[in-house]
Amino acid sequence: MGEVLLSIRNLKIYYYTLSGIVRAVDGVDLDVYSGEWITIVGESGSGKSTLAMSVLGLILPPGRVVEGSILFDGVDIAKAGIEELRRIRGRRIGVIFQDPGAYLDPLRTVGSQIAEAVIEHRLASSWDEAWVKAEEALELVGVPASRARSYPHQLSGGQKQRVAIAAAIALEPELLVADEPTTALDVIVQAKIMELLEDLRRKKGLTILMVTHDIALASEVSDRVAVMYAGRIVEVGGSRRIVESPSHPYTRMLVESVPDVWVKKPVRSIPGDPPDLRRPPRGCRFHPRCPLALEECRSKQPPRVPMPGGGWAECFLAGMEYGG
């Protein structure tokens, strides 16, 4: 593993809504190493997208970073001013989103949207030069350069996501944040987009921080997986270890809930609902849904137990033998 590129410490992001304070991210620690592909897995409402957006300093009101730091190359993104953020956004940390169509301006050609950012970050001195860079970026992601003159509505879903990736890549960022990049696409296109990201990572030395609800996808494509539950990361580890010997009961249940195309077995869902983040449960947040919950899980925050081969799990039972 390379050196630490992004270091998140004790991050807390709360949404101050009329119906109460939503603790979307509540004490997250995470290191992202240069050159790796790390994926955050969690259910909807686990705070994973909020965490991803915070890396770009894009937490919108009523959300606010309440505590903690997001260190990227010596800059604390959680406290950076707008001008400092603008120099990092896009240029050093790129992002692609879940619904590629919505994140493109419907009224402008995709080429001009890419070229505009290229100019903004002074990666080209003229519009023509920026346009050429936009076309090169499109070619790189497998979209014909002639498509630069297309409007978003003239492209398919997969092409739109490729265009979004091109828009990110054109600015030559070190880190790419991918927030559910393939959730809106079918599996065939999903596989192609994943291949493309892996290819870019190798060619460009990119670091990828992906967010998804799909643990199977996460373990397949990434080096490391972080499992998020109710605003906290409950387990981190190498993706192989996470699926083969999960340490946290939640991770285990997530892995078991993945349907298998080859083996006909009943799909096991996780009983209960994710907690209301306005009133998260005391102690371990998973205890109301956990089949193994002990008495102390109800009152005490479980310790972070290091796991062999790197990573940790936040559970009283982690590292012990237990039946599942």
Partner 1 sequence: MSLLRYVAVRSALIIPTVLVLYTVVFIVMRVLPGDPVRAALGVHYIPPEELEEIRSRLGLDEPLYIQYFEYLAGILRGDLGESLVFEGRSVWSDIIDRFPATLELALAGSLVSIAIGFITGGLAALKGGIVDRLMRVYGIIAYTLFIPWLGLMLQYIFSIRLGLLPSGGRIDPRVGLEEVTGFYLVDSIITGNPHAFVSTLEHLILPSLTLGIVLSGAYTRIVRVHLSEALRSEFSIAYRARGLRESAVFIHALRNSLVPIVTLMGLQFALLLGGAILTETTFSWPGLGSFLVERVMYRDYTAVQGAVVFFAVIVSVVSMVVDVIYAIIDPRIRY
Residues that bind partner 1 (CB under 8 A): 56, 58, 60, 82, 85-91, 94-95, 97, 99, 102-108, 116-117, 120-121, 151, 153, 164, 167-168, 171
What is the distance between the alpha carbons of residues 185 and 145, in angstroms, rounded to a whole number?
22
Amino acid at residue number 131: W
Helix 110-120 and helix 127-140, axial crossing angle in degrees, nearest 10 = 120
Do the beta carbons of residue 103 and residue 53 sit within 8 Å?
Answer: no
Do the beta carbons of residue 262 and residue 235 sit within 8 Å?
Answer: no
Do the beta carbons of residue 180 and residue 95 sit within 8 Å?
Answer: no
Nearer to partner 1, 86 or 204 (CB): 86
Nearer to partner 1, 121 or 201 (CB): 121
For residue 103, the minimal CB distance to partner 1 (Å) is 4
Nearer to partner 1, 184 or 317 (CB): 184
For residue 293, the minimal CB distance to partner 1 (Å) is 39
What is the distance between the alpha carbons of residues 184 and 11, in angstroms, rounded to a whole number?
29
Nearer to partner 1, 88 or 200 (CB): 88
Token pair, residue 37, equals 């592909």
What is the distance between the alpha carbons of residues 260 and 134, in angstroms, rounded to a whole number?
41
For residue 90, the minimal CB distance to partner 1 (Å) is 4
For residue 249, the minimal CB distance to partner 1 (Å) is 35
Half-sphere exposure of 304 (CA within 13 A, CB side): 13
For residue 305, the minimal CB distance to partner 1 (Å) is 36
Q: How many CB atoms lie within 10 A of CB 80?
A: 17
Nearer to partner 1, 49 or 239 (CB): 49
For residue 208, the minimal CB distance to partner 1 (Å) is 16
For residue 260, the minimal CB distance to partner 1 (Å) is 34
Token pair, residue 310, equals 């790197």
DSSP 272-305: S----TTSPPSSSTTGGG-TT--TGGGTSPPPEE
Which residues are registered as beta bridge partners of 30? 8
Determine phi and psi for 74, rounding to 5 degrees: 85, -10
For residue 1, the minimal CB distance to partner 1 (Å) is 27
Nearer to partner 1, 65 or 242 (CB): 65
Nearer to partner 1, 211 or 227 (CB): 211
Burial class (CB in 10 A: 0-12, 13-18, 19+), 260: exposed
Nearer to partner 1, 154 or 299 (CB): 154
What is the distance between the alpha carbons of residues 83 and 87, in angstroms, rounded to a whole number?
7
